[in-house]
Amino acid sequence: MVLKSIFSLFMASFLAVGLSAQIITLDNASFEGEPQDATLPQGWFAVELGTTPDIMPGIWGVTKEATEGDTYIGLITREDGSFESIGQRLEAPLEKGVCYSFFLDLARSKTYAGYNFPVRLRVYAGTKKGKRSQLLWSSPTVEDEDWETHEVKFTAKKNLNYIIIEAYFGEGLLFHYNGNILVDGLTPIKACERA
């Protein structure tokens, strides 16, 4: 009886640890901070050269309210072909072969100081800081000024330690342009529910 109780306790602990390891919370996932231009939100680092994201609202003519908390991030693309990209190290790695999902809110501003055209968001994961090892998801071109929630669902092809989000030009276009995308409310990354 004692052996059976010890085994049951061990299995319960093992399952609890396994389940908790399947939830990865991002640092400052709603990009909270003092609204200002050319500022990285706390917990995030610049990936691309020239990345100067803006903590919104209230600058560059953007006044949209956040979907979560008080602020959100604005990322731009430029006609010279450059674009803004931020990332962070995950608190635990995404494990090879595991299906994951999370949600985020996207919108666009038509009044972003001349960076007004619609772009898309790409989400990568990497094995090293700044490395794009796997494209996890690419949004459609975001034209709507209203927030829309999107699910990012993927299976890790290898163990991945970093996440990167970036503004990028519309799919299939052969030219570069000044555009923007607004991002807010990233949820924790969770293992997919088993059917």
- How many Cα atoms occupy the beta-carbon half-sphere of 64 within 13 Å? 26
Give the integer Cα–Cα distance in Å for 8 and 143: 53
Predicted pLDDT of residue 7 = 44
- The CATH number, out of the four listed (2.60.120.260, 1.10.3720.10, 3.30.465.10, 3.20.20.80), of the domain defined by the range 2-191: 2.60.120.260
pLDDT for residue 1: 52
> What is residue 44's predicted lDDT score, i.e. its pLDDT?
97
Cα 62 from chain centre: 20
Series of mean pLDDT values for 10-residue runs along the chain (195 residues)? 46 41 89 95 93 94 95 97 97 96 98 96 97 97 97 97 97 90 97 76
Answer for the pair 151, 121: CB distance below 8 angstroms, yes or no: no
25: amino acid identity, one letter:
T
pLDDT at residue 134 in the model: 98
Structure tokens at 35: 């609204």
Q: What is the pLDDT of residue 148?
A: 97
- Quick one: pLDDT at residue 6? 47
Q: Is the separation of the CB atoms in 174 and 78 below 8 Å?
A: no
Three-class SS of the chain:
CHHHHHHHHHHHHHHHHHHHCCEECCCCCCCCCCCECCCCCCCCEECCCCCCCEEECCCCCCCCCCCCCCCEEEEEECCCCCECEEEEEEEEEECCCCEEEEEEEEECCCCCCCCCEEEEEEEEEECCCCCCCEEEEECCCECCCCCEEEEEEEECCCCEEEEEEEEECCCCCCCCCCEEEEEECCCCEEECCCC
What is the model's pLDDT at position 97?
Answer: 96
